[in-house]
Structure 1
Amino acid sequence: MANWSELIPLDIWKKIAESIQFHEDFNVFGKVCSDWRKAMKIANRSKSSIQTPWLLLAEPPCTSTRRFYSLYNRKVLPVELPKPSTTPGQAEDDTDNMTLSLLFPPDKDEDGLGDWRYYSSRGWLISVTQLGLNITLVNPITKQVVQPPPFPDHIFGSRTRSWQWQPNSYLFMYDKFVLSEDPSTTKDYVLAMKFPASVDLAFWKSGDKQWNMLNTHYCHFSDITFHKGEFYAVEQFGKIIAVGNSSPPATPRLVANLMFQCTSPHLSYLVESAGTLLLIFRELEDLENKTLELKCFKVWEINVDTGEAKETTSLGNRAVFLGHNSSFSVEACPPICRPNCIYYTDNYDHNYRFSNTINRCDMGVYDISLDRKIEEFYQGPSCLSKSTLPLWVESPN
């Protein structure tokens, strides 16, 4: 009897694969047989796929296995990232993965030297290593790796020479990374990074041999995003500037000023949402145990051409994802992902950095029309970690 899978042309399997909306189902499809795996590899799902972001859970900092929680099927997916050789500059896989030895440095002692912290943007993970302060981009699905150059001494060295090094000092060095484009789809992209509690922004263009700094007279930046071909950054107290799309960046220009709307303590986020730039204030309140917890969110639509700002309680059919990742929005697909809601993780990690214990993780779903938190999206293990906080990762197409 003939193999039934051989009776159907590969093009038919390809069309079926392209009709699958969720990555989790697409992944299962590819495990059925060799023909389906072939169809999976050549399928173009960009038109049919639905983005349901994954939550990267907090794990022990020295492990190559990371777990992702899926909003779609409420399951946890372990992902084994390529593990490198313990010899610096060499890896067990091909030469494309040689730089992974910087991503997973070997354990050194009982104090945990060799940890690394993750950030994310456009479906990629950006790691920062405790040893060497190396930055590495890794695609958790394809295992593709990109190694930007190290920061030169005049950018980075001046920040650390006067410090007494502590095991968690690397947590102070970086704050947020944002990609202009997905490196899986183009070789022409820019990686932007903002330092914590600093007026500085750093930019690296793919293929360049160095980072470029932008020093401004503005106050500490809270977030940075890519919108309509430009990077935009927001000050802690609501001024928004544009800095172009290249490295070195353009001369910054003031786009809007919402300082009069600011309350303290708070966090500010910039989010591109269906062609609109949103400024979101996250207002916090002090609790008796000296921690901070969400009080409310306030959302403003920004007209980058006129500088006008309009407060809104509607995201349309969109959901926004905020946290220790680049801020982004996706089209809602209820009940998996609710419209007009903010899915947030706890990225106010001041207490993580300066305390020996972690006693809370503020995560949930906030409906901006109801002006309140409506539910939890995850209450399982691995919510808390001092080095790698839970964060959102955009799912692949």
Structure 2
Amino acid sequence: MDEVRVEWSDLPKELLPTIGKSLDTRIDIVRFRSVCNSWRSSVPSSNSPRFPLKFPHPYTTSSSTAPTQTPAYLCESTIYRLQSLNPSTSSSNKAWLVKVEQDSNSGGKFRFFSPISNRRIAIRYPNTTLNLLEFRVIELAKAYTLRLRDRVGVVRIGPTNEIVEQLPGDSSIRCVTKVVMFPNSPWTNVNDSAVFVIFGAGRLGFAKSGAESVTVVDDNGFEYDDIIVYKGQFYVIDTLGNVSWIDNSSLKLVPFLPPLCGLGRQKHLVESCGALYVVDRYFNKERRRVEHTNRYVRDCDGSKVVDFKVYKLDEEWGRWELEKSLGDRAFVLGNDCCLSISAEEFTGYKRNCIYFNDQNENHVFNLEDSSFGDLQDIHPSWLLSNLL
């Protein structure tokens, strides 16, 4: 049977809303609505919440007797694969890893952040728009942070145009190590999304938009390192290597696999090519649990990273396998989001390497020979001259 081809302009109009609602990233919705007037009118822009969203302070929990804290705000940023389609604009045809946050409180302005350290990159250019005809843009992941915005902040800019200090007017909350929100598609009502946060000395908290306080999950003394959404389900790992999935309705933690036999002091969950990995980070000193302003936090001051081990989930046998190589992949252990990328596609990244932040500096670890190295330029200067 001969294949029948139908021009996009001849598609039945009743199919357009179904097609549009199947798109799960904001950039794809923008492309869809840009095709023509009929496509634009068939699908609304999206139901995405306007960030930042007011959120309960994590240290004001449902079981807390402490006085009410300053309100926190949930901020969303997006990590993109961004590639120039103009050869004269860039010296390489490789893409850049770019992290962007749009702030509705400042008129929808965009702000750039480092994908690794999550520090804001200072932009000293007038506002312009990004022409999607000149760039190939693919959304890779979303990241979330909790910040305080109770007064105007003050920033200090370093010699490389990166903000190296940001005071409480727009500062991350101390010892909040991970925030995850799901579902987070453009069509999701924010009231239907769950937010989990790891804070203090590894406590796991839960809240929804509009909640008065954070509910502590499994408050039995376990210290959690990381949380991830894998195949539509929340998974969490503690410092001993126990991985559990979270029952959203009951907030119960269900053991997922036998404990990971990793002796590192900090564990990260990473999804790569559909598989689940654990990256175990080793320090030269043990992380201590100390008291700070009537609450316990982790004191990592002075600890230096000395090694990494990587484990991959063998779903068939239900066990963790030690990996010697990541192949052509690179793992980016951001301060608020961990992800896997194809190193061959991105400028400044090398295969079989782990990129991370340690003692407020970005580093790279080569898994093949266990060596540490300096980073190449991972900030696209040609982009900064065309944006914001």
Normalised TM-score (structure 1): 0.49
Q: Which has the higher strand share?
A: 2
Normalised TM-score (structure 2): 0.50
